[in-house]
Amino acid sequence: PDVNPGNCWAFRGSQGFAVIRLSGTIRPTAVTLEHISKALSPQGTIPSAPKDFAVYGLKEEGEEEGLLLGQFTYNHDGDPIQTFYLEGDSMGTYQLVELRVLSNWGHPEYTCIYRFRVHGELA
């Protein structure tokens, strides 16, 4: 995948979610969220970047509410690739992980995710 402006998963509004099925079951340790930098943005700003987001572990598809693994804030003034470490050893193991975006940095129409990675140890 590339990180050219516009080559992202865009969703309407400032809130949205995606459930990712991993290739295997893992004990998650961290997640990485990526957006383009302000320097790459044609306007020099990135209001479509996610701001507040949460990560959940799901045991099965269609599960209403998984286990909250962490809630974080993407720093739009920071590095475009940001890693967030999950706390605790009793999180369990998962093959399904939900990224739930709670807000963005001010874009009224859409939010963009360029890349989302889940890190962990194979279970």
Asked whether the beta carbons of 51 and 76 are under 8 A apart, the reply is yes
pLDDT by residue (tens digit) across 77-123? 999 999 999 976 567 999 999 999 999 999 999 999 999 999 999 98
pTM of the model: 0.93
For domain 9-122, is the CATH number 2.60.120.260? yes
Compute, in degrees rounded to 10, the torsion defined by CA atoms 101, 107, 112, 117.
-40
